[in-house]
Structure 1
């Protein structure tokens, strides 16, 4: 089923969050582990502007549907960050663009070199890079949606749970776009399939790796995906990926968690 990009962009709105009763957090604050995970999520949502920056120097920018989607996607993700930042603010935790800018400054040359490297590598690969980009995005969006779902299930907070479900609902649209695009671009394209598998095998890491400290990445993975229920979500992601052309047997997310010592 084709993804209707015009319908998506015309219907796009910021996630609704101001109607929820956040006063409950004054009497029933969220626990430290949950706040730590929420902060990670918030910072990554705000950081999506850097992914958009990298896309603009790759062959993906030349595709009108991809460019249109990425612009709207980035706008929606920023509002996800705003909603999560509000919850964190009620707990005395401030996440602002200045804070994130300072973090990127600490990355130094790695952050500044990222779009240059992306441009060089992606333009050498050519148009098949877009297939890699779309598959990569599909996995990241599925991982993000699963993370919101797991946190809502783990935390006994109706307000937080409702907010996370609303965010995950928008993430589902992002999954649909990336997956539809990835399937179409991988179909009957052996070169794109090989490039995608190679890129994922050699370079993919959980969302936020390279931006957040490894200790924070590991905390989030263990907090959300440890144990049978967490592993069930991870295996579901891998099953969806394996259904795409040329991706059979690619147990990427489960193997990554195993390599990081996240218990099943």
Structure 2
């Protein structure tokens, strides 16, 4: 027929995501591809190692997230469940790769999860109660909650992608850049599933859009940050996510995911993290100065009553209030320790 237009190969709609093939070709351990000798010869910047330790914990937090998601109607969707279980498997091995590098540098990452007693207790209670509460709440909502879950994974993947690109730019160690490129290849497959599925579900359901608008601002970004020390989350944002980059990610969220045009998720999370981190550091310095006077009154007197000392930068504590993530787990009030590591600064990637 004259005038009939045919679609070229380049214009053809993308094929549906093959979940079975995704599960069959799941990517496991990355250890064999990591050249530890290269890191021994040219170590990473200490700030980079600290960031990798934090990212390792974010990847590990997937199992907690998955546990809470799979007690909801999401588990009834076989396709989504198959994706999420393989997604969690691949993220486990990404965390393992980061751990290998962190350990090779002799970095003690135990403090990342060394939460103050009250906050740790509150988190433990929340982790035990959340699957029960979330099950009742989400099952009363129905299948629309799947759109929320996929939207949250999508946004988290965007944050992670931007952070990895920024880290590679800040510390372009050849082995690190190679590993991060491999990780991005793995995560690109994750985005190929969650992005279009989240868009479709939010487009099709007004209720899903409303639920996402209410729940996503209560999420701790990046996912997993709610169980880690706030000083580490603040360092993550200061080092990798500039204000401009946070705004860029937010604009991508608003332009891509239906019904979320009023949200500023990453910018808000960044502002809160830095505010809490700054307050913690200031109170820590004051407590350190006070402690130095109590422990060394003669030294303080000899110095003319000055309250300044090397102890001024020691670990202190401040009380802050946490946030609630999409699984319903709430962080209780607790204390946060400051850090003594050098911070890197950077803007948005080009």
> Normalising by structure 2, what TM-score?
0.67
Q: 1:147 aligns with which of 153, 156, 163?
A: 163
Residue of structure 2 in register with 1:245 after alignment: 258
Matches within 5 A, 1:203-222: 203-222=219-238
Match of 1:171 in 2: 187
Work out whether 1:60 is the aligned partner of 2:65: no
Of 259, 262, 269, the residue aligned with 1:256 is 269
Return the match for 1:21 from 13, 29, 35. Answer: 35
Q: Deviations over 1:96-135 (max 9, x none)?
A: 9xx9799997632122122122212211221111111110
Larger CA Rg, structure 1 vs 2: 2
Greater mean deviation of Cα atoms: 28-37 or 200-209: 200-209
The answer on whether the counterparts of 1:54 and 1:114 sit within 8 Å (CA) in structure 2 is yes
The 2-side partners of 1:74 and 1:206 are apart by 16
CA distance in 2, matches of 1:256, 1:18: 36
Alpha-carbon contact 1:37-1:220 (below 8 Å) kept: yes
Q: Unaligned stretches of 5+ in structure 2?
A: 1-13, 276-344
Question: C-alpha distance in 2, partners of 1:101/1:47?
Answer: 15
Q: Is the 8 A contact 1:235 1:254 kept in 2?
A: yes
Match of 2:107 among 93, 105, 113: 93
The alignment partner of 1:108 has SS state of: helix
Aligned 8 A contact 2:52 2:102 in 1: yes
User: Unpaired segments of 5 or more residues in structure 1?
Assistant: none
Preserved contact between residue 15 and residue 167 of structure 1 (Cα < 8 Å): no
C-alpha RMSD of the superposition:
2.6
Equivalent of 2:95, from 70, 77, 81?
Answer: 81
Instruction: Report the CA distance between 1:238 and its aligned residue.
Output: 2.2
Q: Please say which of residues 37-46 and 17-26 is displaced more in the overlay.
A: 17-26
The count of residues paired between Structure 1 and Structure 2 equals: 258
Query: How far 1:15 sits from its partner (Å)?
Result: 5.3
1: CA distance between counterparts of 2:120 and 2:272?
A: 29
- TM-score normalized with structure 1 length: 0.87
1: CA distance between counterparts of 2:63 and 2:274? 30
